[in-house]
Structure 1
Amino acid sequence: MNNHEIDYKLYGDDMQFVEVELDPQETVVAEAGALMMMEDGIEMETIFGDGSGSSGGGIMGKLMGAGKRILTGESLFMTTFTNTGSGKKHVSFASPYPGKIIPMDLSEHDGKIICQKDAFLAAAKGVSVGIEFQRKIGTGFFGGEGFIMQKLEGDGMTFIHAGGTIVEKKLLPGETLRVDTGCLVAMTRDVDYNIEMVKGVKTALFGGEGLFFATLRGPGTVWIQSLPFSRLASRVFAAAPQTPGGKSVGEGSVTGGLFDLLGGKN
């Protein structure tokens, strides 16, 4: 194996974190800001590039790897955590919002997983975090993730995060699954990903589900999330105070809200 072999343990249910156990000189790579805690004897270092640890291409290769991360909306830097001590040490990484952490052994998925742009949390050193361009114009414009998704390549453990409850679906050859574009978390390399427009004018305009959904065709495995962060954020924003007095327009009684709109005090 090219990747460092790491052991791990998941804690929690809806607000999870993963504890990684490192043998001496083992390294784990994590997204900037993912650290929760670490034991004495672990050395932290900020790096450029894709986290694979490859020196191919020298400084230009590292700059290209960092540039690819910018295209996916991630930080320019990644952080490595190396056990420089003599015994086993532990470092923990927390999920950024309510949901689940999905551990994946890339060697069990032909060495590659394609996932949404902000899904990556941490991985064994040697896993490459790159970009995957959507070749189809319709998928790029209306797929909810744009033209660019993340690809995780290697043969080691990686951890991705998504919102709500996660379901894993194995698709047979030719089997099709239609999902909301924001609910797709990850898929294996052989899954055919496309976008379809919702049929029917009334359904498209008044169904409340958007104009497009993702069509996933097997063979392969897909991971679906029940609560995309964008959906959670829009509900939080809608409930946030919208008036100078600190109350949302819809807060309280109907008459109180109307009174607020007319400039009175409730």
Structure 2
Amino acid sequence: MSYSQTPQMPGYPGAATYPGMSAPPPPGGQYPPQAHGSPMPPIPAYPPVPGPPAIGGATNIPTNGVCEGAQYRIDHRDSNSMLYVRLQPEYELKAKPGSMVAMDASVRIKGKLKFSMKKMFTGAEMSESIFTGPGEVMIAPEVWGDIVPLQLDGQTAWCIGKDAFLAATRGITRTTKSQGIGKALFSGEGLFVYHATGTGVIFLTSLGAIVSRTLQPGEQWIVDNGHLVAWTAQYKVERIDAGGFLSGSHTDEGLVCRFTGPGIVYIQTRNPETLGNWIAHQVPENRGS
């Protein structure tokens, strides 16, 4: 087993410059007015984030990088994370509705309704915000927590928890996938999860920090069902005698997800259900109940 950063896709050398993005911007970073059809100046690369490198789990994933038509940087990890994405002209970033913090005036934004019967019954997002460059967009999740980039290589498909999606670059296809009635009732993720494929970067968010683990063939790992973020390994839901110490467990039995390698599993260090119960308990009329 190994706790490490997510394997990096070949061709994504950290913050190296993507073809067509090498020239610096005009002084002050301002783009002059462009005639219709004239090329926009290339967008500059983000500088390295100052400070010592993070250690352990998924926190040592590079906080800046590039992909086709965009460059990104993640600041203030891992409790108040903010995602900055610089888009080349006509390149898009798809994001969770309501996640935009700010953007350049040159960026265009529109909403897109994605209707399906699955989403009517599962509560999955039925819309998305689409940002089109050139310019920078600042994105953040609705609660405090981490943001990590997941680089897809066009070969490996990922399952993404229903609340873990934040944004995705061009080249990523995100659909809903049934995971069976047993997992739907007990995994904490509902009947459908997101199924991400393609080539590009998908940005995940969490409650608390994100930790990753790479499982070797046949290796097993047990995860409390409220902590899942994303995974490639197969799993099944089990009941175990936990003495009431698992989240969401009101008896001596608790529900867990038993993963079997090979594959990668991302988990979050905080459980939304447990947090909700804690907040409810702080309300004066609920104390002692």
With normalisation by structure 2, the TM-score equals 0.69
Q: Any gaps of 5 or more consecutive residues in structure 1?
A: 50-62, 243-247, 251-260, 262-266
Report what 1:167 is aligned to.
211
Partner of 1:74: 124
Distance in 1 of aligned mates of 2:173 and 2:80: 26
Question: For 2:257 and 2:211, how far apart are their aligned partners in 1?
Answer: 16
Identity of matched residues, %: 28
Say whether 1:102 aligns with 2:148. Answer: yes
Matched, 1:158 2:223: no
Does residue 198 of structure 2 align to residue 198 of structure 1? no
Aligned residue identity for 2:226: G
Matching residue's letter, 2:73: K
Aligned in 2, Cα 1:36/1:118: closer, same or farther, shift over 3 Å? same
Relative to structure 1, the CA distance from residue 160 to residue 71 in structure 2 (aligned partners, 3 Å threshold; closer, same or farther) is farther
> Does structure 1 retain, via aligned residues, the 8 Å contact 2:122–2:190?
no
Going from structure 1 to structure 2, the CA distance change for 1:6 and 1:72 (only over 3 Å counts) comes to farther
Is residue 91 of structure 1 aligned with residue 141 of structure 2?
A: no
TM-superposed CA distance for 1:48, in Å, is: 2.4
Q: Give the secondary-structure state (helix, strand or coil) at the position aligned to 1:164.
A: coil
Q: Higher helix share goes to which structure?
A: 1
2:175 corresponds to: 130
The whole-number CA distance in structure 1 between the counterparts of 2:121 and 2:170 is 22
Matched with 2:193 is 149
Q: Distance in 1 between matches of 2:87 and 2:280?
A: 40
Q: Deviations over 1:74-115 (max 9, x none)?
A: 3322111001x5xxx11010121121111011117x242101
**Separation (CA, whole Å) in 1 of partners of 2:118 and 2:184:** 17
Give 2:100's aligned residue.
Answer: 35
Q: Distance in 1 between matches of 2:246 and 2:200?
A: 40
Given the alignment of the two structures, is residue 233 of structure 1 paired with residue 276 of structure 2, yes or no?
yes
Tell me the residue number matched to 1:12. 76
Evaluate the alpha carbon distance shift between residue 69 and residue 126 of structure 1 in structure 2; reply closer, same or farther with a 3 A threshold: farther
Question: Using CA pairs below 8 Å that are at least 6 residues apart, which structure has the higher relative contact order?
Answer: 1
- Amino acid of the residue matched to residue 143 of structure 1? S
Distance 1:15 1:69 in 2: 29
- The 4+ residue runs of structure 1 with deviation greater than 6 A are none
**What's 2:267 paired with?**
224
What is the CA–CA distance in structure 2 between the aligned matches of 1:185 and 1:175, rounded to whole Å? 19
Unaligned ranges ≥5, structure 2: 1-66
Report the TM-score when normalising by structure 1. 0.75
Give the AA of the match of 2:216: L
Secondary structure of the equivalent of 1:121? strand
Instruction: Output the CA distance in 2 between the equivalents of 1:70 and 1:119.
Output: 19
Counterpart AA for 2:160: C
1:195 Cα deviation after fit: 0.9
Change (3 A) 1:104 1:165: same
Q: Distance in 1 between matches of 2:287 and 2:174?
A: 43
Name the residue aligned to 2:50: none
The match for 2:58 is none
Paired letter, 2:236: N
The verdict on how the C-alpha distance between 1:241 and 1:130 changes in structure 2, with shifts beyond 3 A counting, is farther
Superposition pairs for residues 24-63 of structure 1, below 5 Å? 24-49=89-114, 63=115
- Counterpart-to-counterpart distance in 2, 1:10 and 1:154: 22
Structure 1 residues 235 and 69 mapped into 2: Cα distance closer, same or farther (>3 Å)?
A: same
Residue 164 of structure 2 aligns with an amino acid whose one-letter code is A
Highest CA radius of gyration, 1 or 2?
A: 1
Q: Which residue of 2 aligns with 1:59?
A: none
Distance 1:134 1:239 in 2: 35
Contact 2:238–2:258 under 8 Å retained in 1: yes
Computed over aligned residues only, the root mean square deviation of the Cα atoms, in angstroms, reads: 2.3
CA separation of 1:115/1:213 partners in 2, compared to 1, >3 Å: closer, same or farther? same
